[in-house]
Structure 1
């Protein structure tokens, strides 16, 4: 698959403090790419540098094969959808979308019929038919999101940047809009780069997920690889689905504050040794249950359970004071009731563990 965007050693600092510390990444053409990272990792800065709203201090940005660092935003061919939508409240849905065509600096469209036809096609594409003459103040958050996207897409950009586009929506609408955005992108055939701080959103949306950590790309992978094989302990923490132990390798085990943990074959090179087991790979058993030969067992005291619809997350206090989390999918078994402060065995297959060393 050909690349639409290449970032080569891109830097950006504020008052001497690096926000982007040497970004190297390649974004494929005709793809949905998620950019995931915690607050302060440089996500929005990277988006603004790609768009041209802020200059890079160093490095190269290549778009469709040509360098664009130093090129004004309106000449880059890249669309931008803001988190707060940035719509004009005094204009109708139709007028907001048309604004992108009529008011652009390069080749504004002045033929009323051409504008009307392009806007009509875009309204159909994003599912806003029947709302053309509504005021922005009379439509829902999800509909505003579509108007903002349509206003960008009507200019036919080769790539669209979305800065936390679902952050202003309620939880149910966010879930619905994930599927809508993917469908719209597929119909347009352009690359979307979607910034989010939500690991669930990033994994659900992205054909490729980039993880940004302290101004650098910590991992670039498809969602399945990222979820099962994070490249570092820090990436595993961002995903919020792993129990992670510090410690060190010793012969055939990982020595941790809760004891010696048997090793599987999954290893990731890392400067910091760590042992990780995903929440949904752990089973909860009575305290006196003996593990099988291929299993790892520790003990913990039950603290609480949290119901999330399709799953229950149970929390246990380990002997070193840390909280250990277990995710049980309700499609696998009926929910269990655990005794408060009761002791239980927490068991997993050693081959399900991931060791960073």
Structure 2
């Protein structure tokens, strides 16, 4: 699929297969093309090139309302003058063709209300219910039409953090019960990894990586993906046969197939241990030295920042479920140590966002 707006390329020859009965997260920064991709699949945006098919049936010449694809918008797009029940029933009652009977509409709406947990709220105005409940109404209005595919454009973006966490589980539960395919667009790496059976990372109109959440998180395809995941320290330098020269040190590398130019050295925030400056380092470990700057407490974890002699800031994440938080003296030098086998040497393609 290709799509251009003037000189800007929104979709740059994307090829994507989405499995039936699956939950796929589409992750990307603002401007990466993820919403354009969703709108093209739905039929809201014409393509400049390429084709779209659903279960083998070409859709390119079929209008949006004939594609049997549901779309859940970020702002819910509910009718404020209608009740919860009327909003859910709206699509069924206003079909141009194959309109079900009033009795069948009532049965399907009642079943959908029960499924999404809105029982007792049917007569409420949508302006008189919470954000999480409005999100459920929007989802129920889409699902009641029994679509083959549901497209969700940042459906949790308008909710607060607590509701987002709860609705992640709710969306997965509902999808699994119905067996409908969900394609979920988000700019949150945490949400994408938690929701998808498969994660598609989009960057500058191209697919940067497709894989299971643990694969994308633990083995990003390149520096752009690692940067977007926001959990890796990355250092520019020069790769060698079994080491990487960076930050004035030669760091051992395990399992790197061969030296590569244009590479970066990456180590995840949570895989770094902080030790006294004079602590011994084992042969299978790598170490850099940095001065402690500050720590941030976020509930389940403490994030600490250290400045290397070059000025580069290294982030270290300590999960409190693993051990007691360490206390560091501001301005004091510490050893930042990790297993060489945990480090990655990645192609240095830059991400589209800073």
Bucket of the pairwise TM-score, normalised by the shorter protein? over 0.9
1:94 equivalent to 2:85? Answer yes
Alignment of 1:67 onto 2:58: yes
Cα deviation, 1:97-136, whole Å, max 9, x if unaligned, reads 0001111334223x21111101000001111001000000
Q: Compute the RMSD of aligned alpha carbons.
A: 1.4
Distance 1:247 1:309 in 2: 35
User: Which residue of structure 2 lines up, in the alignment, with residue 4 of structure 1?
Assistant: none
2:153–2:186 contact (8 Å) kept in structure 1 = yes
- How many residues in Structure 1 have an aligned counterpart in Structure 2? 347
Alignment-derived partner of residue 289 in structure 2: 299
Task: Name the SS for the 1:60 alignment partner.
Answer: coil
Shift of the 199–252 alpha-carbon distance from structure 1 to 2, 3 Å rule, reads same
Paired with 2:335 and 2:94, the residues of 1 have a C-alpha distance of: 65
Residue ranges of structure 2 left out of the alignment (5+ in a row): 348-354
CA distance in 2, matches of 1:147, 1:157: 16
Structure 2 equivalent of residue 113 of structure 1: 103
Determine helix, strand or coil for the equivalent of 1:121: helix
Deviation at residue 270 of structure 1 after TM alignment: 7.9
Match of 2:323 among 333, 338, 357: 333
Distance 1:124 1:260, change over 3 A: same
Residue 267 of structure 1, CA deviation:
5.9
Q: Distance in 2 between matches of 1:212 and 1:40?
A: 10
2: distance between equivalents of 1:335 and 1:40? 38
CA–CA distance in structure 2, aligned partners of residues 258 and 108 of structure 1: 71
1:36, 1:64 → 2: CA distance? Answer: 24
Residues 46-83 of structure 1: per-residue CA shift (max 9 Å, x gap):
11011010001101111111111121101111100000
Deviations 1:8-35 (A, max 9, x none): xx00000131010011111111111100
**Correspondence for 1:208:** 198
Q: Distance in 2 between matches of 1:302 and 1:277?
A: 18
Query: Cα deviations across residues 191-225 of structure 1 (Å, max 9, x unaligned)?
Result: 11110000000000000000001101111000011
What is the aligned partner in structure 2 of residue 239 from structure 1? 229
TM-score, normalised on structure 1?
0.95
Please say which of residues 49-58 and 268-277 is displaced more in the overlay: 268-277
1:266 CA drift (Å): 5.1
Give the C-alpha shift of residue 250 in structure 1.
2.3
User: Matches of 2:233 and 2:114 in 1, distance apart?
Assistant: 46
Q: Which of residues 341, 345, 348 in structure 2 aligns to 1:355?
A: 345
Could you say if the C-alpha distance between residues 159 and 229 of structure 1 is closer, same or farther in structure 2, counting changes exceeding 3 Å? same
**CA–CA separation in structure 2 for the residues paired with 1:313 and 1:94:** 46
1:81 to 72, 79, 92: 72
**Aligned: 1:191 with 2:181:** yes
On the 8 A contact 1:75/1:106 being kept in 2, the answer is no
Aligned equivalent of 1:182, options 149, 160, 172: 172
2:20 aligned to 14, 25, 29, which one?
29
Aligned 1:14-53 pairs, distance under 5 A: 14-53=5-44
